[in-house]
Amino acid sequence: MRTTVQMDKTCCTGCGACISVCPKQAIQMKMDDEGFYYPSVNENCIGCNRCENICPTGKLSSHAILSVLGGWNE
């Protein structure tokens, strides 16, 4: 089973809390075309929901799914 993490990146403040709490080092910050950093999730994600629980925006959600979607919803 693969997992995916979804986030409206316009809501992300770049606080880094999700990166700090991830037990699989599955989150990295990337820069978009406008120079804003946003979190990107790789295939190491196990869907533990820790990032969702700690994100101060409340706009982050993780889901266990059966297909490979992988990555942040941009």
Question: Between residues 13 and 67, which has the closer beta carbon with respect to ligand SF4?
Answer: 13
Q: Are 30 and 38 in contact (CB under 8 A)?
A: yes
Question: Between residues 3 and 33, which has the closer beta carbon with respect to ligand SF4?
Answer: 3
Residues 6+ apart with CB under 8 A from 6: 60, 61, 62, 63, 72, 73
* The token pair that represents 67 in the structure block: 């297909």
Q: Note the residues at the interface with ligand SF4 (CB under 6 A).
A: 3, 5, 7, 12-18, 21-22, 24, 26-27, 39, 41, 45-51, 54-57, 60, 62
CB of 26 to ligand SF4, least distance (A): 4
